[in-house]
Amino acid sequence: MADLLTIDVVARTGPVVVAGQNSLSRTAEWVEATEITETGQIPTPHRVILTCGVTLPDDSVGLRRLVKKLREVDVSAVFVLLGPRYVSALPPPLAQAADHYQLPLVALGQAAQLSTLAQHINSVLLNRRVTALAAADTIHRTFNELTVEGAGHWAVVHHAAELSQRPVVLENLGHQVLSYASADQSPSDLLADWEERSRRVRPSSPTGHDEHSSWLIEDVGARGQTWGRLLMLPATPHAHRRQTWEGGAGPELTRLVMQRAADALALNQLVGGNEERAERQAHADLLRSVLTHSLTGQELALRAHAAGVPMQRRRLVGAVVQHPSTSKPVPVQEDRHLEHLAVTAIRRTGTPALVAAVHTGTIALLLSLDPHDNEDKVLKSFSLILRQQARLILPQSKRDGDRDALEAQLVIGAGPAVESAQQARDSLSAALETAGVFLHIRPHTGPQTEGTPYATAQDLHLPGLLHSLRDDSRVHRYIENELGPLLDHDARHSTHLTVALAYYLDQGRNKTAAAEAAHMSRPSMYDKLERVQRILAVDLNEPRTCLSLQVAIHALNAVRAGSDG
């Protein structure tokens, strides 16, 4: 209601708030020009009484009874025009009664026609009401669309800040930031010491206003389970703000924004999963930002710290877990199971990390290590815990009927440790590339084991190099020059001589070991190798010849793995 005093026609009268200053936030729906008496008609609630005061009681007791009556029927305020009865000031007993009952009392100093003044004010109020209705419709429509589209919490929070022109933060029950929109405030100022500041904000009701900080708070959850809080902070003083809506409807519309945003967040989370999904979505947004370089190092460190993963003065290591079915469609539920396993495993190591699925069948992690931590020890611990859990939990194991085989098929790649958030992309990209390459060369290098439970770029060796060159036409020509006749023979006669040659070379040119590895008799292996020599016109006892053939076989495996993927 305080904004009524700023309307031009009212401001020109030189209004002075005589009493009830603390109640000026009350709602005023209409202005009624009338002369009031103790025995007269009872005014309508939420009205501002505009009067000359000529019929007001003369005694202090009568004034007190009248003010009490007006307050009981919820009159918003009384505006008294000076001149007709009270020349220069309102009587002290009237002001004292208004203060006692917290009824705003305003003296209007410059002469004006009551009816004209009321007409102008009501015209403004009516326009504001229409504007408020349109704004409320926009708010409802915006959050309905976000709910129907299943928009993520970043989109919901962004629209809440956009509509209210105030910073908005979504946090979990541990006061870690899941998403935020800073409006005109700098992100560093908004998120500085967030957990400490947030813990101090405790309104008297789950949904309400904290008088000390002027924050608005809305609990987020459904079915009796609260999983987070939505917080709206005051706008930055002197910040440039476009006018979203006018006048006294502002606070009500701001509360409506908060309520609808919290409803959209709760409903989308109810459909998409529990509060853990909100944290995973926040981590996924940050990890994608790392990979796309859409955030500066400072912004990434700030947002990650608010999400519970410190990056300042830490060593960062990217890691990737890939599902054995990454090259095929993977059910969403299996993706989430693998993501859950990765989260559980990294938590058991006690290492802060961003963890989320970034592609189908691909879980990315960005580990935050203390400068004195040994990354190899942490990565090995994480990898072994993950494999142990995968052996027991991952649903696909029930279909495959071979838990140990499934556990061994998981591929874990790691990038180098880096010293700043700005370099995080280098480590995470290296981990993605390493895991992707190892997934394709694994059939020819063997699975990761307890001794080497994860791979780095240093573990890829020649197969890794050839995998990266698999589309080069010069590699294709080399394969044909070295193995072409043998491959043609196998294709025409189904003899699998190339396989026998690969076993022979992998076993260090030991024919007995090759026969055992291929599960065939020694005479059969000897015969196949003799035919290989005749077809290729080579001597398999010559080391340089065998080296060339082995490189060609590795290149062939890389080309075939690439076409299969």
For 44-64, write each residue's pLDDT tens digit. 888 999 999 888 988 999 999
The percent of residues in the chain predicted with pLDDT above 90, rounded, is: 43
pLDDT recorded at residue 208: 81
Phi, psi (deg, nearest 5) at residue 14: 65, 55
Q: Give the predicted TM-score (pTM) of the model.
A: 0.61
| Cα–Cα distance measured from residue 65 to residue 84, given in angstroms and rounded to the nearest whole number | 22
For 321-346, write each residue's pLDDT tens digit. 987 654 444 445 667 788 888 999 99
Phi, psi (deg, nearest 5) at residue 25: -80, 0
What end-to-end distance do the CA atoms of the chain give, in Å?
Answer: 67
pLDDT of 170 > 70? The answer is yes
Mean pLDDT taken over the chain: 85
For 250-264, write each residue's pLDDT tens digit. 778 899 999 999 999
pLDDT of 394 > 90? The answer is no
Bridge partners, 179 (sequence order) = 170
Tokens of 526: 């000897």
pLDDT of 88 > 90? The answer is no
pLDDT of 413 > 70? The answer is yes
The percent of residues in the chain predicted with pLDDT above 70, rounded, is: 88
* C-alpha dist (Å) from residue 188 to 181, 284, 298, 366: 12, 21, 9, 22
